Structure 1
């Protein structure tokens, strides 16, 4: 949980438009994205990789930090 909470300030910055924060988050999640783009294959599917990167970008923007920090209670 502490590692996740450490992402909170970076997510807040990324959601407010800080490109360096978004880059930092995308780099952090890149190994997971690549792993999923290879799933069941011996090679990296570039189209799947780009689709997953876009999905992660959208998810970061849409993630409700306040809901997360309040334990799901608004």
Structure 2
């Protein structure tokens, strides 16, 4: 069995919930096997802005990457 250690979102689509259990085959088909959820793929500022806007989050024009990441985490319930 595979358990997702964190919520995984790619290109605006939910891939796995935090704590979701699945078979190893299911995890592999979702691209989670070999994915270290402790160090997720780093997104560019433009990708972060696009993700935030797709989620309905207004991003200030002078926001830094760190600030945008905090906005996304807060919207996802991370803070």
TM over 0.5: no
Higher strand share: 2
TM-score, normalised relative to structure 2: 0.29
Q: Relative contact order (alpha carbons < 8 A, sep ≥ 6): 1 or 2 greater? A: 1
